[in-house]
Amino acid sequence: MRRDSPVLTDMRHTKLCYSKERYCGHPRQSGIFNYGNGEIAVLHAHAPSRYEVREDISHSFWTGYPSRAKILLQRSFDHGETWPREHDVVVWDETLPLEEKRAILKRADEPSVVREQIDLTGPDAAVYFARPVTGPTRSNGEPTLECFAFRSGDRGRTWEAVPTRVSNPHGGGIHRDAHPLVQFPDGTLMGAMTMAMTPERDSAGMPGGVGVYGSDDNGLTWEYVAEVARDPTGVGRPTYAGLLLLPGGRLQCYMLNIGGVRNAIQLAYSDDGGASWSGARPIVAWGQSPWAARRPPQVARSGVHYRSPWPMRLRDGRVVVLFGRRKPPTGIGLIVSEDEGTTWSAEAIVRDDGSGSDLGYPVATQLDDGRIFTAYYFMEDDGNGFGGTRHIAGSFFRLAG
């Protein structure tokens, strides 16, 4: 079946955080919060970088840029047009000494500690799921990754001192990539997690499946509910999961399968509140790409078609899934469904001018005037090494129709 590409209008690009001495990356792992009336908060990893040696741009949690990063919250009061630095907030500091970080996170395991009362369903709430390198030390001397949730009741201006530990019932790694929580009619919450399916696998923090967790106490605890998907071959992994709750009550989980049975953005659904799930099916198709015709000559051909999908339901009922593309031409793309995920459009290009493949991880929100705003990390050839400065960029556009 032939798919048509959606039409994007009023396209405009901007920069949220850029410095030739910094690596700014991965907002999809940190979050976005739209408080209305123009106030938006975007979180990202923010680290010094000289762009001289491989470790300056490496994604290793132990030796790369994440090991030097602070999770920085930026705030806009004019619908994403400007991001004044005087409102920046450091949410988590990975550069603290290991034992100091462990002391902060240890509070989560002390039952006698009195927790703050924060309504995560309220209009001023925010939650950040940290991925610190503070766990038990591996045989090579490196600590393992853990997962903790920090809450805020004042739009991210301050954050609770005692976090919540999120554990994997199978043992091994677990993390959440910052897609908004789903709120059910009874006020309970649910989020999708990427998790190891056996304690032996992926001890370095590369889990192998997707599960859902619920909270009925405003995030004071997070409980495992059910497995959503794992790769049937045992060698791939679903990840980058995000949930949407449709008006009719169907719960959808969007994710990316990497390797194994397929490399594709896929969708599963639940009609019983997340207790059981359909099989995951791909929602992208080969053979109808707008990217190949725009590939510049004499460029490297390697790279992946999809990274870090971000689903969002617009106020008119359409569902948009944004993603990063890491095969030239590199950039940000999207697909659209007008029937709640039954059928999908061909891909549309938001931008395809990246100077390399180290980009993507979009977060997005719909603005008060109906436009879509998306923030992501990007790279441009500005004279820095390894293809140029990694920075947080943004795009504004409308979806026609």
Residue with tokens 């004042």, as numbered in its chain:
154
**Is there a contact between 31 and 12 (Cβ–Cβ < 8 Å)?**
no
Report residue 86: phi and psi, to 5°.
-70, -10
Specify the DSSP element, H or E, that contains 100.
Answer: helix 98-106
8-399, which class in CATH?
mainly beta
pLDDT confidence of residue 199: 62
Number of H helices, E strands in the chain: 1, 27
Alpha-carbon 374 to chain mean position: 12
> How many other C-beta atoms are found inside a 10 Å radius of the C-beta of residue 341?
20
**Model-wide pTM > 0.75:** yes
Token representation of residue 111: 């039952």
Among 294, 334, 331, 285, which residue's Cα sits nearest to residue 312?
Answer: 334
Instruction: Say how many residues make up the chain.
Output: 401
Question: Is the CB of residue 384 less than 8 Å from the CB of residue 51?
Answer: yes
pLDDT at 200: 54
pLDDT, residue 398, reads 98
Spatial CB neighbours of 180, under 8 Å, sequence gap ≥ 6: 242
Which amino acid is residue 287, in one-letter code? G
Strand partners, 264: 257
Task: Answer for the pair 386, 359: CB distance below 8 angstroms, yes or no.
Answer: no
* The pLDDT of residue 288: 86
Cβ of 2: how many Cβ atoms within 10 Å? Answer: 7
Name the CA radius of gyration of the chain, rounded: 20
3 state DSSP class of 227: strand
Q: Tell me, what's the pLDDT at 205?
A: 44
317-322's contacts with Cβ under 8 Å and 24+ in sequence apart are 318/399, 318/401, 319/244, 320/364, 320/372, 320/399, 321/254, 321/265, 321/283, 322/350, 322/362, 322/364, 322/374
Alpha carbons 379 and 215: distance in angstroms, whole number: 37
Which of these, 89, 93, 48, lies nearest to 70 by C-alpha position? 93
Which pLDDT does position 187 carry in this prediction? 97
Asked if 132 and 197 touch (Cβ cutoff 8 Å), the reply is: no
Query: What phi and psi values does residue 398 have, to the nearest 5 degrees?
Result: -115, 150
Classify 293 as helix, strand or coil.
Answer: helix
Please give the chain's pLDDT, 401 residues, in tens.
668 899 999 999 999 999 999 999 999 999 999 999 999 999 999 999 999 999 999 999 999 999 999 999 999 999 999 999 999 999 999 999 999 999 999 999 998 999 999 999 999 999 999 999 999 998 888 999 999 999 999 999 999 999 999 999 988 889 999 999 999 999 999 999 999 877 655 444 455 899 999 999 999 999 999 999 999 988 889 999 999 999 999 999 999 999 999 999 999 999 999 999 999 999 999 998 899 999 888 777 789 999 999 999 999 999 999 999 999 999 999 999 999 999 999 999 999 999 999 999 999 999 999 999 999 999 999 999 999 999 999 999 999 98
Q: What are the structure tokens assigned to 76, written together?
A: 């806009």
Nearest to 41 by CA among 26, 55, 54, 30: 30
Cβ contacts of residue 363 below 8 Å, gap of 6+? Answer: 27, 28, 30, 31, 32, 42, 178, 310, 374, 375, 376
Long-range contacts from 122-126, C-beta under 8 angstroms, 24+ separation: 122/153, 123/35, 123/36, 124/35, 124/153, 124/154, 124/155, 125/151, 125/152, 125/153, 126/31, 126/33, 126/41, 126/151, 126/152, 126/155, 126/156
For the chain, domain boundaries? 8-399
Whole-angstrom Cα distance, residue 369 to residue 375?
17
